[in-house]
Amino acid sequence: MRKLISAILSALIAICAGGAAASASISESAVRRAWKDVTNIAGMEALPLFIKEDAAANAWVEAGKSVTVTTGLMELLQREEEIFGVLSHEAGHAKLKHYESKVGQSVGVGIASILIGKATKNNSLADLAVGIGLNLATAGFSREMEVEADDFAVDLAIDGGHDPTGIYTALERLSLQGGRLEPSGFNSHPPDERRLLHVKNRILERAPETKFPEVDPPEKAKQR
């Protein structure tokens, strides 16, 4: 009888653990704590932070005025240092004024969207507005800017006494899942392998003793 009870108990524990794994790995309070930390260490204004209900793992900083993190990203990431790393990358775009240097480019993309929208006619005005807004907010980061934002994230972690592998394993998880940061990042982000190698070398240059944690592919991580 006692054996049966303990079997039921351990089954219950297993179910509860499974349920917990299905919810976000990084809590909203952890995201907010990380953002506060990032802005403190970077000596920048704590821009408003939004959590977006969206299964696609992503994060972006909008025209240097706010930062958004999706619930999909919170589920994908496994360590608080990883969300710290991603938010540091986004802070890098804002702090390094990448938005200001690409204004001309973004307006160009916006106008292109209007022309395409008029040509297809099926587009509602709302769709068009969303498209233009997205373009203005996120289009046009060059590969160089992405590398700069990654370097910024590594340096901020080391200068602030954080684990610099956070940005590395966060990018690794995104890569394994086939995702990337920022909606329009497909052309502008450096290829994953080169990007990861650059980040790893940057970390090892500044902190040669760093050990990099193993990252499970997403399916394996989900089964836990």
Q: Which stretches of the chain bind Zn ion, using CB under 5 A? A: 146, 149
**How many whole angstroms separate alpha carbon 88 and alpha carbon 63?**
16
DSSP 102: T
**How many whole angstroms separate alpha carbon 191 and alpha carbon 186?**
9
Least Å distance, CB 179 to Zn ion, is 13
Residue 98 or residue 200: which is nearer to Zn ion going by CB? 98
Least Å distance, CB 93 to Zn ion, is 6
Residue 34: helix, strand or coil by DSSP? helix
Nearest of 160, 146, 174 to residue 206 by alpha carbon: 160
Residue 117 or residue 149: which is nearer to Zn ion going by CB? 149
**How many whole angstroms separate alpha carbon 96 and alpha carbon 104?**
17
**How many whole angstroms separate alpha carbon 76 and alpha carbon 211?**
21
Residue 67 or residue 203: which is nearer to Zn ion going by CB? 67
Residue 149 or residue 171: which is nearer to Zn ion going by CB? 149
Least Å distance, CB 150 to Zn ion, is 8
* 42 neighbors 49 (Cβ within 8 angstroms): no
Residue 68 or residue 117: which is nearer to Zn ion going by CB? 68
**How many whole angstroms separate alpha carbon 143 and alpha carbon 195?**
10
Least Å distance, CB 224 to Zn ion, is 29
Least Å distance, CB 31 to Zn ion, is 17
